[in-house]
Structure 1
Amino acid sequence: MIKNKLIKARKEKYTQESMAKILHMTQSQYQRREKGEIKISDDEWERMAKALDTTVDDIKEEDIPQSIINNYDNSSGSYFPHINNNYSIPEFILKNMEDYINLLKNQIEELKEEIRSLKS
């Protein structure tokens, strides 16, 4: 999960590179923490808050994984209700899902109209 509160606070004072130096890590390691690819430890949250002259509560966002359950065996197409394969859905997809669904609906309507015009 992207750490938007942390990013906003950090951008007011530092670049990713300078924040990484303060935390004694590479810019890449720091960036992966902001993106939510690497879990931020409690100690790191404390050090970030201190560097940003704020509180942990003001910058910390908990990782709340959004997931879907796939109960299909993709090799055979069979349904197995007793098997749960959980997949994390990246937050950027969740945020843009409604826009994407509306885009697809519009494209479907355009295709239906095109088919109607070909039939007439």
Structure 2
Amino acid sequence: MIKEKLIRARKDKKFSQLDIAEHLNISQTQYLRKEKGEIEIKDDEWERIAKLLDIEVDEIKEEDSSRINQFFDVSGEYKNSYIGSNNNYCNIPEFLLESQREYMEILKQEIQQLKEKVSQLENQNK
């Protein structure tokens, strides 16, 4: 659940996501995920953010009731037919991915060379 009250208060006070992230000693990306509701904002973090914004916690805090409601219908019965996404997305810089691809190619070549050596040794022992 997007933290609309928090976002509105942060923008009203002219704070960037990076400002809040640095105050919490986390990355801007991690803070963004907290604002989007992907990561829980802990009580102590709510307090620190409220203090930085010079407002009361209840002016910005929104409960994550949507996560509970995803699994229970209005009668409180558990919904076992819930269809959701378990996809987790990470922003990995392309240069890291490329270096990993290159490393995997090197490992594939080394594996092939080792297989050839094993095959040669087996043929010598026959």
Change in 2 beyond 3 A, CA 1:88/1:58: farther
Q: Deviations over 1:8-53 (max 9, x none)?
A: 0111220111111111110001000000000000000000000000
Indicate the residue corresponding to 1:23 in structure 2.
Answer: 24
Indicate the residue corresponding to 1:4 in structure 2.
Answer: 4
Structure 1 residue 86 and structure 2 residue 89: aligned?
A: no
Any unmatched runs of 5+ in structure 2?
Answer: 73-78, 86-126
- How many Å apart are 1:68 and its aligned residue? 6.7
- How many Å apart are 1:85 and its aligned residue? 3.5
Indicate the residue corresponding to 2:38 in structure 1.
Answer: 37
CA–CA separation in structure 2 for the residues paired with 1:85 and 1:49: 38
Aligned pair count reads: 76
User: What percentage of aligned pairs have identical amino acids?
Assistant: 54
Map 1:106-117; keep pairs closer than 5 Å. Answer: none
Letter of the aligned partner of 2:70 in structure 1? S
The structure with the largest alpha-carbon Rg is 2
CA–CA separation in structure 1 for the residues paired with 2:61 and 2:83: 24
Letter of the aligned partner of 1:63 in structure 2? D
CA–CA separation in structure 2 for the residues paired with 1:40 and 1:56: 12
TM-score after normalising by structure 1? 0.57
Indicate the residue corresponding to 1:58 in structure 2.
Answer: 59
Indicate the residue corresponding to 1:75 in structure 2.
Answer: none
Change in 2 beyond 3 A, CA 1:28/1:67: same
Displacement over 2 Å in runs of 4+: 66-69, 85-89
Indicate the residue corresponding to 1:67 in structure 2.
Answer: 70
